[in-house]
């Protein structure tokens, strides 16, 4: 019988983080980056997401018009808020390189890919009676 040993901090981080591929800057180019898991709901509850972005999260979880809170905003406001939300998620999840190191160079496509990789299928989080 082998002796049990606790996982090291480095091993824990390596298991909690993962490499994802995002588009590069030239056709066919791909970069690998390391991200850690993030939760939109946790970010909301601990104040990491400003109040004005919370309505965007509510709309992400909205299915078939079944929304407990009616949100009215024009498309431009919605785009601006979604960009801010994606920036916030990228800032929280990017491990290597760090968001701060490359933020001004990230394209909208790259940010979208990172955001989607952190969230998986948002529909999976919706209670089954609302799907």
Q: What is the pLDDT of residues 35-45, one digit of tens each?
A: 998 887 778 77
Residue 90 CA to residue 100 CA, distance in Å, equals: 10
Q: Would residue 109 count as lying in a domain?
A: yes
Q: What is the DSSP string of 40-97?
A: HHHHHHTT-S-HHHHHHHHHHT-BTTB-SS-----HHHHHHHHHHHHHHHHHHHEEET
Domain count, the chain: 1
Residue 98 lies in a domain: yes
Domain range for 100: 9-125
- What's the pLDDT at 122? 46
In a domain, 1, yes or no: no
Q: Is the residue at 14 inside a domain?
A: yes
The gap from C-alpha 125 to its chain's centroid, in whole angstroms, comes to 14
Domain annotation covers residue 121: yes
Least confident of 77-81, 99-103, 119-123: 119-123
Binned at pLDDT 50, 70 and 90, residue 60 comes out as low
Q: What is the mean pLDDT of residues 98-112?
A: 95
pLDDT at 91 over 50: yes
């Amino acid at each position: 019988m082998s002796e049990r040993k606790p996982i090291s901090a480095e091993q824990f981080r390596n298991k909690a983080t993962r490499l994802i591929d995002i588009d590069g800057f030239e056709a066919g180019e791909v970069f690998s980056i390391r991200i850690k898991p993030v939760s939109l709901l946790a970010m909301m509850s601990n104040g990491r997401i400003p109040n004005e972005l919370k309505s965007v999260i509510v709309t992400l979880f909205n299915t078939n018009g079944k929304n407990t809170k009616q949100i009215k905003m024009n498309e431009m406001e919605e785009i601006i808020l979604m960009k801010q939300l994606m920036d916030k998620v990228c800032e929280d999840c990017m491990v290597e390189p760090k968001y701060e190191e490359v933020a001004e160079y990230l394209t909208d496509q790259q940010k979208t890919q990172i955001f989607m990789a952190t969230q998986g299928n948002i529909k999976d989080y919706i209670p089954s009676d609302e799907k």
